[in-house]
DNA sequence: CAGTATAGGGACAATATTTTCACTATTGTA
DNA sequence: TACAATAGTGAAAATATTGTCCCTATACTG
């Protein structure tokens, strides 16, 4: 395993949340699992920009922190499903807020760009 | 400047929020500025684990995204102050939620550790 | 004069994260 | 037989982020 050398800073709640949610795809994964995508292949198809490897790693981390629960069906070809735990569900408001804020910011941002192109400047 | 080679993924709002808030200290900085710490030296003293360099970089990024506003007082020795913009203030609920969730998770986590030490296991 | 405080940047080193690619193994399908 | 789908890992490379150290400049203090 990879051993970290820079000590983590857990002085404030924000750092903790960032430790658990900070990965590039973790909030997206929580969101997707909540929306019904449980199998790794589904998640991978829904996030084509994410490498399979990272998704796998981040799922493992989320599981290690008790955010999701892994169910291995003993069949072949393999079938695995991930579900949110209570801890994971308690993160949903945060994930939703991230999604909403980002969407609003994006549309605001696009509006600004349009206005600049048309030569209009807001006061 | 540093040029990124992996294209950003802005397909969902979450990625956008992460792009703006994802830095190691950005949410902490927003929180601190909101709580009245406006000068870089104050912020640095309040986050001794963060290197001066990174704080400076992340402040610059927050400014570039319009989350904070920089006020340079033309005096010597230099005096600079950062303030939240409207965009920055719109992030406060998110920052608060991160702080609260992390704090709760941490105390839950500590409780569990204690219980394990005492030999008690919750069902 | 020497040191401190102020805000910040450049150069570079150290560390962390992500990507790529090749592999494991089994079953079903063309 | 050859290949896809399934879930996942190892090794190594590529990229990103953060840390360390030294430098700029000015005014004040001792």
Domain spanning A13-109 has what CATH number? Answer: 1.10.10.10
Q: What is the pLDDT of residue B9?
A: 75
Judged against a pLDDT cut of 50, whether residue B119 lies above it is answered with no
Residue contact A10–B103, C-beta within 8 A: no
Nearest nucleic acid nucleotide to B22, CA to C1' distance: D17
Which of B57, B51, B59 lies closest to B84 in space, CA to CA? B59
- A70: distance to nearest CA of chain B, Å? 19
Q: What is the pLDDT of residue A118?
A: 43
- CA A22 vs CA A44, A62, A102, B19: distances in Å: 19, 11, 15, 11
Q: Name residues of chain A where pLDDT drops below 50.
A: 1-2, 116-123
Instruction: Please enumerate residues of B whose Cβ is less than 8 A from a Cβ of A.
Output: 9-18, 20-22, 24, 27-28, 31, 49-50, 87, 90-91, 93-95, 97-106
Q: What is the pLDDT of residue A122?
A: 35
Residues of A in contact with B21 (CB under 8 A): 98
Residues of A in contact with B95 (CB under 8 A): 14
- CA B40 vs CA A16, A103, B60, B72: distances in Å: 24, 30, 11, 11
pLDDT in tens, B35-70: 999 999 999 999 999 999 999 999 999 999 999 999
Q: What is the pLDDT of residue B113?
A: 53
Dist CA B49 CA A29 (whole Å): 30
Find and list the nucleotides of strand C having atoms within 7 Å of a protein beta carbon. 5-11, 14-21, 25-27
Which of A52, A50, A72 lies closest to A63 in space, CA to CA? A72
Residues of B in contact with A97 (CB under 8 A): 93-94, 97
Measured from the Cβ of residue A16, the count of other Cβ atoms closer than 10 Å reads 23
Residue contact A101–B87, C-beta within 8 A: no
Q: What is A29-78 written as a DSSP string? A: HHHHHHTT--SHHHHHHH-TTS-HHHHHHHHHHHHHTTSEEEEEE--SS-
pLDDT in tens, B74-118: 998 899 999 999 999 999 999 999 999 999 998 876 775 555 444
Dist CA B29 CA A12 (whole Å): 12
Q: What angle do CA A29, A31, A33 make, to 5 degrees?
A: 65
Q: Calculate what percentage of chain B has a pLDDT beyond 90.
A: 69
Q: What's the CATH number of domain B13-118, 3.30.70.270, 3.40.109.10, 1.10.1740.10, 1.10.10.10?
A: 1.10.10.10
The DSSP code for B112 is H
- CA B70 vs CA B43, B59, B84: distances in Å: 14, 9, 9
Nearest nucleic acid nucleotide to B5, CA to C1' distance: D15
Closest in A12, A87, A101 to B13, CB measured: A101
Contact between A75 and A69 (Cβ < 8 Å): no
Q: What is the pLDDT of residue A76?
A: 83
pLDDT bin (cut points 50, 70, 90) of residue B34 is very high
Distance B55 CA to D27 C1' (A): 25
Nearest nucleic acid nucleotide to B49, CA to C1' distance: D19
Dist CA A96 CA B32 (whole Å): 24
Dist CA A72 CA A81 (whole Å): 7
Question: What stretch of H or E contains B73?
Answer: strand B68-73
Q: What is the pLDDT of residue B22?
A: 87
Q: What is the pLDDT of residue B90?
A: 97
């Amino acid at each position: 395993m990879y051993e970290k050398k820079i000590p983590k800073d857990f002085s404030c709640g924000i750092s903790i949340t960032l430790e658990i949610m900070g990965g590039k795809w973790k909030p997206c994964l929580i969101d997707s699992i909540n929306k019904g995508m449980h199998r790794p292949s589904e998640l991978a198809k829904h996030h084509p920009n994410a490498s399979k490897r990272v998704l796998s790693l981040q799922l493992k981390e989320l599981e290690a922190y008790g955010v999701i629960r892994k169910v291995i069906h003993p069949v072949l070809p393999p079938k695995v499903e991930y579900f949110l735990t209570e801890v994971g569900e308690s993160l949903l408001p945060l994930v939703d807020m991230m999604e909403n804020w980002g969407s609003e910011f994006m549309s605001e941002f696009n509006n600004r760009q349009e206005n600049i192109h048309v030569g209009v400047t807001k006061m």
